[in-house]
Amino acid sequence: MLVDSFGRTIDYIRISVTQRCNFRCVYCMPNIPMNIGSEEEDVPLEGVLSFIKVAINEGVKKIRITGGEPLLRKGIVDFIAQIYQLNPDIDIALTTNAYLLAPLAKPLKEVGLKRINISLDSLKKETIQCISKRNGLEKILQGIEAAKKEGFLIKLNMVPLKNINDDEVLDILEYGMHLGVGVRFIEFMENAHAKNDTKGLKAREILEKIEKKYTFKLLQQDIFGPATLFEITQAQESYIFGIIAPHNDDFCKTCNRIRLSSEGKLIPCLYHENAIDIKEAMLYGDSQEILKSLKLCIENKPEKNDWNENQTSMRAFYKTGG
């Protein structure tokens, strides 16, 4: 079992399998050329699998595959199948922009994927184009529908941005409500790679928009993540939505996760600059070295995040997986 210096059991790993993406979201990588890197520059998936084997042996129970855009990776379905074969009880999840999801939803379900988080920042074609620089709404919605049809546990992620999509908080909430899937509103995290003038809504501003139409009560911290949950009760039906406010550190005391970046670095906390490079150990399938680094990473996990509102994070979300 992996237990850190503050008694927290670490049983959840988020893995960014590529930094490449088919979108250029304003809050993530707007200024990066469309042709960054190639499949060959990504850490080979067999290497990542050597890391996963070690992590599962040490008690990891949940693995989220993210990116960049994870569905751009050739062999992603086989990769997930191999994780499932290592241990069918592992809760395998994926975070995607859904642009390539529709034809992959069925094969992904068949190989053991259980959950999908899908980024959906708008229901307007022009706004999706403006945020992601891609005319992708139709494909995103097809991806969501295909995932729903396959019976995945789905969550929709929205990052509400001032003067861009902040008028759609209620629309996205109601889209999720009608589809019967949860919505998580994520506060924009300032970072050096985002478009300069990007401003996000804070949790309080998001809640103010929702309370114009709905009454809701505070539930508790999401046991699957750092979201704070709220329940809308109307006409006997209840609907739960969440807000992820990374500017708080309330969720640090129950944090159970570490990250593996697309560059092969083990990151103990998203808002902490330390990381351990295990790329070479993964390339050689050196499980002794991987285990040593994994233990060191857990030992180095800080008690709280070092997030500072006045300081811009240098971390690239497309490398760490968000």
DSSP assignment of 259-293, as one string?
EE-TTSEEES-TTS---EE-HHHHHTT-HHHHHHH
Least Cα distance to 232 among 154, 174, 160, 152 occurs for 174
| 140 in a known ligand binding site | no
| 95 in a known ligand binding site | yes
Quote the least distance from Cβ 41 to ligand SF4, whole Å.
Answer: 16
Residue number of the CB closest to ligand SAM reads 322
What's the DSSP call for residue 70? Answer: G
What's the DSSP call for residue 302? Answer: -
188 interacts with, out of ligand SAM, ligand SF4, none, CB within 5 to 8 A per kind = ligand SAM
Binding mask 72-111 for ligand SAM (x = CB under 6 A): -----------------------xxx--------------
Stretch that binds ligand SAM, among 175-183, 184-192, 230-238, 292-300 (CB under 6 A): 184-192
- Residue 185 binds ligand SAM (CB under 6 A): no
Residue closer to ligand SAM (CB basis): 160 or 293: 160
- Residue 164 binds ligand SF4 (CB under 6 A): no
Token pair in block for residue 13: 């790993």
Strands 257-260 and 62-66: unpaired
Residue closer to ligand SAM (CB basis): 16 or 300: 16
Binding mask 96-125 for ligand SF4 (x = CB under 6 A): -x---------------------x------
Using alpha carbons only, how large is the chain's radius of gyration in Å?
A: 19
186 interacts with, out of ligand SAM, ligand SF4, none, CB within 5 to 8 A per kind = ligand SAM
| 223 in a known ligand binding site | no
Among 47, 68, 242, 264, binds ligand SF4 (CB under 6 A): 68
Q: What distances in angstroms separate CA 286 from CA 50, 52, 85, one per listed residue?
A: 8, 12, 20
- Measured N-to-C along each axis, helices 287-299 and 45-57 cross at an angle, to the nearest 10 degrees, of 60
| 189 in a known ligand binding site | yes
Quote the least distance from Cβ 25 to ligand SF4, whole Å.
Answer: 3
CA–CA dist 113, 123 (Å, integer): 26
The alpha-helical segments, DSSP class H, found in 87-180 are 105-110, 125-132, 137-149, 169-179
Q: Give residues 129-158 in contact with ligand SAM (rule: CB under 6 A).
A: 157
| 122 in a known ligand binding site | no
Main-chain dihedrals φ then ψ at residue 246, nearest 5 degrees:
-65, -15
Q: What b-and-e string marks burial along 30-68, b requiring 16 or more CB atoms within 10 Å of the CB?
A: bebeeeeeeeeebbebebbbbbbbbbbeeebebbbbbbb
Written as one letter, the residue type at 76 is I
- Measured N-to-C along each axis, helices 169-179 and 203-210 cross at an angle, to the nearest 10 degrees, of 70
261 interacts with, out of ligand SF4, ligand SAM, none, CB within 5 to 8 A per kind = none
Quote the least distance from Cβ 264 to ligand SF4, whole Å.
Answer: 18
Written as one letter, the residue type at 101 is L
List residues forming the annotated binding site for [4Fe-4S] cluster.
21, 25, 28, 252, 255, 269
Annotated binding site: 14, 21, 25, 27-28, 64, 68, 95, 119, 155, 189, 252, 255, 257-259, 269
Annotated binding site for S-adenosyl-L-methionine: 27, 68, 119, 189
The site for ligand SAM (CB under 6 A) is made up of 21, 27-28, 66-67, 69, 95-97, 119, 157, 159, 186, 188-189, 191, 194, 317-318, 321-322
